[in-house]
Structures are given as structure tokens and as C-alpha cells.
Amino acid sequence: PVLPTSFLNVIAEADRALGGEGRIRAEASRTEPLIFVMAEGRDFDELNRLAVRLAKEIAVAVGAPEQEPVQREPEGETGAGR
């Protein structure tokens, strides 16, 4: 499927903002009518801003009722070198 330009713009902005130090993606649930927006990186505030923006773009595109996205607190530091 062709993605709306607004999605591509948010993802391109995220790539620039994260500068290779993270990523953002959206994935449809296979069992529920949900789309998950996931972000990984070092700057929680920036990741949160980008993820919320993408979630809002998705909501508009699919005609979902306006509501605030569910946000999670950052998880503990994990992974090699941290």
C-alpha cells in the first residue's frame, strides 16, 4: 500500500532528528484494530514527541476519534555498551 505523504514526512523528520541514534516505526496489530507506534533511541523526550506526532497522523488518516495516544515511561537502560 502507498503511505500518505504525512507519514513519510514524519518518518523522514524522525530520521533527521535521531541522526542514526534511533528509529521510529508503526506496525498494525494482527489481532486487534490497533496500530502500534514504537520508537527507540537515547532522547526520550524527542522520541516521545516524534511518536506522538506519527500516532496523530495515523489517527487522522484512518478517521479515528480524536484522543491522546497512550504513552509509556522509558524502560531501564539495556543492551550492550550501556
Q: State pLDDT tens for residues 13-59.
A: 888 888 888 988 888 888 988 888 888 998 888 888 888 888 888 88
**pLDDT confidence of residue 31:** 93
φ, ψ dihedrals at 46, nearest 5°: -70, -45
- Counting beta carbons within 10 angstroms of the beta carbon of residue 30, is it exposed (0 to 12), middle (13 to 18) or buried (19 or more)? exposed
In the numeric block, which cell numbers belong to residue 25? 516505526
Q: How far is CA 73 from the centre of its chain?
A: 14
**pLDDT confidence of residue 60:** 83
Gap between the Cα atoms of 36 and 81, Å rounded: 28
Q: Which residues contact 43 (CB under 8 A, 6 or more apart)?
A: 21, 22
Higher pLDDT, 77 or 68: 68
**pLDDT confidence of residue 79:** 43
Predicted TM-score (pTM) of the model is 0.70
E strands of 13-71, at which residues?
22-28, 35-41
